[in-house]
Amino acid sequence: MKFFRFDKEIGFPIKQYDSQAANFIKVFRNKQETSVGFIQIEAGGVVGYHQASVEQLFIIVQGAGWVTGTDRKRIPITNGEGVIWKEGEWHESGSESGMLALVIESESIDTSLLQEK
């Protein structure tokens, strides 16, 4: 058995898109352009407005915050909820109190098993 760390100290700051107080902790990447990681958004932090390079599933595992789509309307999101952005879709996320999100990016994400809110 091996233990691993997934805290913000082993991640790196997200500096693109005018992001603030947000860190990425890589978990997995394979040759099929699939990436799995965590984004830690601190209180008052933002991952700035940008286009999804591939489909992106954003699942809140701790805390609460907000997400936007192309219209930039802030929609509340909390622990146990998630959102998917399609390739090319503009979006942004942030939190007033802090949140941790599991992020899966892939050329195709099968959402047929997911339960819509």
Number of domains in the chain: 1
Domain for residue 115, yes or no?
Answer: no
The 8-class DSSP code of residue 115 comes to P
| Pair 68, 74: CB distance under 8 Å | yes
C-alpha span between 3 and 36 (Å, rounded): 18
- Rounded mean pLDDT for each run of 10 residues along the chain, 117 residues in total: 69 87 73 82 96 92 96 94 92 97 86 71
Q: What are phi and psi of 16, to 5 degrees?
A: -75, 165
C-alpha span between 51 and 17 (Å, rounded): 10
Domain for residue 114, yes or no?
Answer: no
Residues of the domain holding 30: 12-106
Domain for residue 42, yes or no?
Answer: yes
Q: What pLDDT is stored for residue 43 in this prediction?
A: 97
Domain for residue 116, yes or no?
Answer: no
Domain for residue 46, yes or no?
Answer: yes
Q: What pLDDT is stored for residue 22 in this prediction?
A: 87
Domain for residue 113, yes or no?
Answer: no
Task: List Cβ neighbours of 96 (8 Å cut-off, separation of 6 or more).
Answer: 43, 44, 65
- Structure tokens that stand for 81 in this block: 């909820």
Q: What pLDDT is stored for residue 23 in this prediction?
A: 82
Q: What pLDDT is stored for residue 35 in this prediction?
A: 83
Q: What is the CATH classification number for the domain harbouring 96?
A: 2.60.120.10
**pTM for the whole structure:** 0.78
Domain for residue 1, yes or no?
Answer: no
C-alpha span between 104 and 52 (Å, rounded): 11
Cα 91 to its chain centre, rounded Å, is 10
Of 54, 62, 114, nearest in space to 88 by CA = 54
What single-letter amino acid sits at 31? K
Q: What pLDDT is stored for residue 11 in this prediction?
A: 80
